């Protein structure tokens, strides 16, 4: 049985076995749960389908959250992606997907918390962009979800994936790391490159606070999902180019835990600081709750 307490150890075990990280994890989970690999694969395939449906439903230009604060922005990004956008249709499309899933979550739609509802748009946007816009096989995305899950388990074990405990670095930062790792594997990267991508994604979000306006997972959460997927792509690209993180991934995760512990309570999902207490943030809270 594998221990999900070190990314380096997991990647090392995969390289030693001559397997991708996803295959190593799938084999281990099948043995631990007493179920066949095919059953677990199909279960994960269903999760990818939920992600795809969330993108579709969240792209509706008429979608609005229950609070009325958010909705409809994914459609605007899709329109820009259709024209090529400043960053190209591929990256702009990924941003649209991240927005769609996060907006659908705010509208009480069905999403996959990957690893949380607040960061639910990052992983779907990354994987589905490679499948739908780059033509990678669906199977590669399904398998990559096992890699993403393993990374998330290590982060949850050694740091946190909860904004209330570690700030948004624990939510969007973790999701970006999971997405970057998954994309590296989808693109044929090695387990070592998976680890470097994970480290670089987290490093670029250390200290990110959780300051939801009106205490809702909408502002600024949705736009942080967009930034998170862009960071995931940049981390994956660097790793695939052979760039290495000088700080080992497990030390980066430990640093994230220590940074999260150092954040004041007002910046950990309490809506008592940051953007939540700006004049406009307070007006929006009054608008929603009276």
Q: pLDDT per residue over 116-135, tens digit each? A: 999 999 999 999 999 999 99
Distance CA 54, CA 112 (A): 9
When pLDDT is averaged across residues 27-39 and rounded to a whole number, the result is: 97
When pLDDT is averaged across residues 99-115 and rounded to a whole number, the result is: 98
Instruction: Return the C-alpha torsion angle 202, 205, 207, 213, nearest 10.
Output: -130
**Residues 83 and 192: beta-carbon distance below 8 Å:** no
Look up residue 267 and give its two tokens.
């910046």
Beta bridge partners of residue 210, listed in sequence order: 268
Strand ranges (E), 142-226: none
Q: Tell me phi and psi for residue 272, to 5 degrees.
A: -110, 10
Alpha helix (H) residue ranges in 204-278: 221-240, 249-262
pLDDT at 96: 98
- Quick one: which of 109, 110, 77 has its CA closest to 94? 77
pLDDT at 222: 98
On average, the pLDDT of the chain sits at: 98
pLDDT at 274: 98
For residue 290, is pLDDT > 90?
Answer: no
Q: How far is CA 172 from CA 30, 113, 243, in A?
A: 28, 11, 22
Label residue 80 exposed, middle or buried (CB < 10 Å: 0-12, 13-18, 19+).
middle
Q: pLDDT per residue over 157-205, tens digit each? A: 999 999 999 999 999 999 999 999 999 999 999 999 999 999 999 999 9
Q: pLDDT per residue over 144-153, tens digit each? A: 999 999 999 9
Q: Which residues of 61-79 are buried (b: 16+ CB within 10 A; e: fewer)?
A: eebebebebbbbbbbebbe
When pLDDT is averaged across residues 268-281 and rounded to a whole number, the result is: 98
Q: Tell me phi and psi for residue 107, to 5 degrees.
A: -90, 15
For the whole model, what pTM was predicted?
Answer: 0.97
> What proportion of the chain, given as a percentage, has pLDDT over 90?
99
pLDDT at 65: 98
For residue 79, is pLDDT > 90?
Answer: yes
Band (1; pLDDT cuts 50, 70, 90):
confident
For residue 27, is pLDDT > 90?
Answer: yes
pLDDT at 122: 99
Q: pLDDT per residue over 192-219, tens digit each? A: 999 999 999 999 999 999 999 999 999 9
User: Which residues, 6+ apart, have CB-to-CB distance to 231 below 8 Å?
Assistant: 176, 180, 201, 204, 205
Band (224; pLDDT cuts 50, 70, 90):
very high
């Amino acid at each position: 049985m594998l221990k999900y307490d070190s990314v380096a150890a997991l990647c090392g075990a995969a390289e030693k076995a001559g397997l991708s990280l996803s295959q190593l994890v799938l084999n281990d989970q099948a043995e631990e749960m007493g179920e066949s690999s095919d059953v677990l694969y199909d279960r994960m395939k269903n999760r990818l389908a939920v992600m795809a449906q969330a993108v579709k439903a969240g792209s509706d230009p008429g979608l609005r959250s229950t609070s009325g604060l958010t909705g409809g922005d994914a459609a605007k990004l899709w329109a820009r992606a259709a024209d090529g956008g400043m960053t190209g249709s591929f990256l702009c499309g990924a941003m649209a997907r991240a927005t769609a899933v996060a907006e659908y979550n705010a509208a009480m739609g069905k999403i996959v918390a990957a690893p949380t509802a607040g960061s639910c748009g990052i992983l779907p946007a990354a994987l589905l962009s490679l499948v739908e816009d780059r033509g990678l096989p669906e199977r590669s995305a399904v398998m990559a979800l096992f890699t993403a899950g393993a990374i998330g388990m290590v982060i949850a074990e050694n740091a946190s994936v909860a904004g209330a405990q570690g700030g948004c670095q624990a939510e969007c930062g973790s999701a970006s790391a999971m997405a970057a790792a998954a994309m590296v594997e989808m693109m044929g990267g090695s387990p070592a490159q998976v680890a470097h991508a994970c480290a670089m994604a987290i490093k670029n979000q250390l200290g990110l606070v959780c300051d939801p306006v009106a205490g809702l997972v909408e502002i600024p959460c949705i736009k942080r999902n967009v930034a998170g997927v862009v960071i995931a792509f940049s981390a994956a690209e660097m790793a695939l180019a052979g760039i290495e993180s000088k700080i080992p991934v497990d030390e980066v995760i430990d640093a994230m835990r220590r940074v999260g512990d150092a954040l004041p309570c007002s910046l950990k999902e309490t809506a008592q600081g940051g953007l939540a207490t700006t004049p406009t943030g307070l007006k929006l809270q009054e608008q929603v709750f009276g």
